């Protein structure tokens, strides 16, 4: 075997490594760095941690959690007829038993859908800037999060389908770290505590709870705003937040991430209870949801997701 050490004039010297060896070493270093970067970017280490932690205590959550791993797709990537693009949010109307959705461009509308994803009514949104989040608050009251303005818009659902005018609605603006197209993306309502959860998409991700909303809209000002961003920083292992929903049965908050293709369930203290992926590698989805923008649960516990441009998903417990 040849030695990398040579003797020249009685002095030992080390031969430089062969170019091929150096190239392999550099490739190996680049590969390791790339893997570490991917793990951190996609929070794969946190996903593994929470997978082990939540599944270890799965039995203790039976009947007390939404438990997202138990859901399987009933309808996958079904295009909504009459909608071509910009489907950006979904909510369940508990009074009428149907779904509401919004489009944020070309044209801007609120839509009524049945639980099979069929379009049943249209409500043009007049004077809105960039509707993204949506929640139904009961007794015909609807709230839309207008992203670019960091504005929450409240209005009553018309008895018959027709235009909804911004100048006839009530609104609340929270100009907190306003940043163009990275503003309020998700909104959910907790009726027991008269509390709205509002999420900023990213750069940075933020989460707020606004209590006393209905009381204030009725004329008795009693708003309280809490910053819950710590929940996001500590427990929400995704790169963005694209939608929220509140489960009235368990008191848990659902968080949807478009970039990470994840649904995450949080406890009333903000801790991760369960999660599941919307990647095509999962056993019940043939293809990855391209841009999931809205999530909601109905009164029977069925789960609905919408994805741009116009795709509808429905999930049931296995």
User: What's the rounded mean pLDDT across residues 265-273?
Assistant: 93
**pLDDT of 39:** 45
**pLDDT of 167:** 94
DSSP secondary structure letters along the chain: ---SEEEETTEEEEPPPPHHHHHHHHHHHHHHHHHHHHHHHTTHHHHHHHHHHHHHTGGGGTTTS--GGGEEEEEEEEE-TT--S-EEEEEEETTTTEEEEEEESSSEEEEEE-TTS-EEEEEEEES-S-EEEEEEEETTEEEEEETTTTEEEEEEPPSSS--EEGGGSEEEE--SS--TTSSEEEEEEETTTTEEEEEE-SSS-EEEEEESHHHHHTT----EEEE-HHHHHHH--SS---EEEEETTTTEEEEEETTTTEEEEE-TTS-EEEEEE-STTSTT-SS--SSEEEEEE-TT--EEEEETTTEEEEEEE-
Sorting pLDDT into bands at 50, 70 and 90, what band is 50?
low
pLDDT, tens digit (0-9, with 9 covering 90-100), for 58-115? 666 777 899 999 999 999 999 999 999 999 999 999 999 999 999 998 789 999 999 9
**pLDDT of 181:** 57
**pTM: predicted TM-score of the whole model, two decimal places:** 0.84
User: Considering only the top CATH level, what class is 65-317?
Assistant: mainly beta
Sequence ranges of the domains in the chain: 17-56, 65-317
């Amino acid at each position: 075997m040849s030695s990398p050490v040579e003797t020249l004039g009685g002095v030992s010297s080390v031969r430089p490594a062969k170019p091929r060896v150096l190239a392999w070493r550099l490739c190996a270093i680049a590969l390791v760095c790339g893997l570490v970067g991917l793990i951190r970017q996609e929070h794969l280490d946190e996903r593994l941690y929470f997978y082990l932690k939540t599944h270890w205590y799965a039995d203790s959550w039976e009947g007390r959690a939404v438990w997202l791993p138990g859901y399987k797709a009933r309808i996958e990537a079904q295009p909504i007829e009459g909608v071509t693009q910009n489907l950006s949010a979904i909510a369940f109307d508990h009074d009428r038993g149907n779904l509401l959705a919004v489009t944020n461009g070309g044209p801007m509308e609120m839509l009524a859908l049945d639980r099979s994803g069929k379009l049943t009514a249209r409500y043009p949104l007049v004077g809105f800037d960039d509707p993204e989040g949506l929640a139904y608050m009961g007794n015909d009251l609807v709230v839309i999060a207008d992203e670019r303005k960091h504005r929450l818009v409240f209005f009553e659902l018309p008895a018959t389908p027709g235009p909804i005018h911004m100048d006839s609605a009530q609104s609340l603006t929270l100009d907190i770290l306003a940043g163009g197209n990275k503003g309020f993306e998700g909104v959910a309502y907790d009726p027991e505590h008269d509390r709205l959860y509002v999420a900023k998409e990213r750069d940075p991700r933020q989460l707020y709870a606004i209590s006393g909303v209905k009381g204030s809209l009725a004329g008795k000002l009693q708003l309280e705003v809490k910053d819950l961003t710590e929940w996001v920083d500590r427990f929400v292992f995704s790169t963005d937040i694209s939608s929220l929903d509140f489960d009235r049965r368990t008191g848990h908050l659902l968080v949807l991430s478009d970039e990470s293709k994840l649904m995450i369930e949080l406890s009333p203290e903000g801790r991760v209870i369960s999660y599941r992926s919307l990647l095509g590698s999962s056993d019940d989805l043939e293809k990855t949801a391209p841009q999931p923008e809205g999530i909601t649960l109905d009164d029977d516990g069925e789960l609905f997701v919408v994805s741009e441009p116009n795709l509808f998903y429905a999930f049931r417990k296995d």
